Structure 1
Amino acid sequence: MSGNVPASTRTLRVLTFLATQPGPVPMERIASAVGLPRSSTYHLLKAMISEGFVVHLPEEKRYGLGVAAFEIGSAYLRHDPLERLARPLLAQLVADVGQTAHLGVLHGRELVYLLKEQPPRPVTLVTDVGVRLPATLTASGRALLAELPAPQVRALFPTPESFVRRTDAGPQTLSQLRRLLADERRQGYAIEESHITPGFASVATAAVDHVGHPVAAISVTFRTESVPPEAIPALARRTKQAADALTRRLHG
């Protein structure tokens, strides 16, 4: 890269490169990928860290996308195209399962609900469009967190104070969150019961972009008394089908 390339272009190239990586990478790889000297790369990364777009992992001597990068991505995805792609999928999901379905995205440590589709006889829920809830307490939030690299999850929840209590349920430390995400990743879906509203549960799975980053989550919320435990895996599979369909739509 020649010396007359604007700093803004160099910054965007660093962000683009980091977005295509499966996890944080050493500075030497970043410098090589964007064609910058090591010293210039160091100063550029330092500035990006101060603005929250890059996170430095000193023990690993690696750099990855910071919270600000994910917030910008979430802001873009909250615009009309994502909602238009997802709306018919949610409508069909509700018709198939007879429960309320949502589309949500991460915004920092919160889950923001973008869409809500209801059956003919809906129940009252706090999860209306525009509502923000702690990501660790929602099935949608954890479905998205489970698809993030572990260092990004650590950057989002660096201290016990990063965790919010609502109904005295859900993870309260990073180690608890990691174990929960690993368990839910293995089972193929996230589930929460009475973490947000007593007597209600949700299952959720994530849709991902072309490089595997989580874009949005589709969830189904139901009264715990209305769905027996043995029926939950089937409900989760149908929810995953909707999320997979959204993934395909996002890939074009």
Structure 2
Amino acid sequence: MSGNVPASTRTLRVLTFLATQPGPVPMERISSAVGLPRSSTYHLLRAMIDEGFVVHLPEEKRYGLGVAAFEIGSAYLRHDPLERLARPLLVQLVAEVGQTAHLGVLHGRELVYLLKEQPPRPVTLVTDVGVRLPATLTASGRALLAELPPAQVRALFPSPDAFVRRTDRGPATLTQLRRLLADEKRQGYAVEDSFISPGVTSVASAAVDHAGHPVAAISVTFRTDAVPVSDRHLLAHRTRQAATALTRRLHG
């Protein structure tokens, strides 16, 4: 990084780097990632700590995102234009199918929920706005992963350690994930049955931008025993229609 890069740019690069890490990291990694000398990195981190954007863990000698960064992220979730484009579609979807609908986006290996619309008598779910779940275990996450280039999926999940399980179901290797993504991409939607919570099923489809890159997924979640298997394709079809409508809205 050249010496004439504004301090604001350096600050944003530090925040961006920390946001992509699975946890707090040593100063040396931050310094290397943003191209700053150790002394400059230290002073920049001190200023960011004072403002609440970074937190220092002295026992571990590591730095992570602070509360102020979380507040900015929360504001994004509340005001993102994507939410405004998708909410009417989710409201309509819930009215038609009578089940809970979500809007989710990928963040690294996780699926983050931005919106949740519920019917009058909703099913109790672990999902809510701001909740993060392993992308490989959610229908929304896999609907989005299925639209990514294979090399990008491989980079996200380079080893078995990158896979998480909450029940006894779900892909545990890259080979298993690729097979599942290929099947779901062919059918145009993803299905998750008890990967997150036993007895709960979701179907999801992805919306894409002008370049075909996945932007967000719309999903419908329901109790497994409440919807016959023969009727699930109808929910999947309606979910896919909602995602297609969001794609058109994203294209303007």
Aligned position for 1:116: 116
- The residue type paired with residue 150 of structure 1 is P
SS of match in other structure, 1:191: strand
**Cα distance in 1, alignment partners of residues 119 and 201 from structure 2:** 16
SS of match in other structure, 2:215: strand
**Cα distance in 2, alignment partners of residues 190 and 167 from structure 1:** 18
Q: 1:176 to 1:139 in 2, by over 3 A?
A: same
**Cα distance in 1, alignment partners of residues 144 and 193 from structure 2:** 17
Q: Percent identity?
A: 79
TM-superposition CA deviations, 1:50-105 (whole Å, max 9, x none): 859xxxxxxxxxxxxxxxxxxxxxx7985520000000000000000000000000
**Cα distance in 2, alignment partners of residues 96 and 136 from structure 1:** 28
Aligned position for 1:193: 193
TM-superposition CA deviations, 1:144-180 (whole Å, max 9, x none): 0000000000000001000011102100000000000
SS of match in other structure, 2:245: helix
Aligned position for 2:229: 229
Q: Does 2:131 align with 1:131? A: yes
Unmatched segments (≥5 aa) in structure 2:
7-31, 35-72
- The residue type paired with residue 248 of structure 1 is R
SS of match in other structure, 1:242: helix
SS of match in other structure, 2:121: coil
**Cα distance in 2, alignment partners of residues 212 and 51 from structure 1:** 29
Aligned partners of 1:114 and 1:129 also within 8 Å? yes
**What is the CA RMSD across the aligned residues, in angstroms?**
1.9
- The residue type paired with residue 166 of structure 2 is R
Unmatched segments (≥5 aa) in structure 1:
1-5, 9-49, 53-74
Aligned position for 1:149: 149
**Cα distance in 2, alignment partners of residues 139 and 223 from structure 1:** 14
Q: Does 2:162 align with 1:162? A: yes
Instruction: Report 1:12-161 matches (<5 A).
Output: 51=33, 78=77, 79-161=79-161
Aligned position for 2:209: 209
TM-score by length of 2: 0.70
**Cα distance in 1, alignment partners of residues 172 and 76 from structure 2:** 28
How many residues align structurally?
A: 184
- The residue type paired with residue 96 of structure 1 is E
SS of match in other structure, 1:240: helix
SS of match in other structure, 1:181: helix
SS of match in other structure, 1:148: coil
The alpha carbon displacement at 1:7 in A equals 9.4
SS of match in other structure, 1:115: strand
TM-score by length of 1: 0.70
**Cα distance in 1, alignment partners of residues 97 and 115 from structure 2:** 17
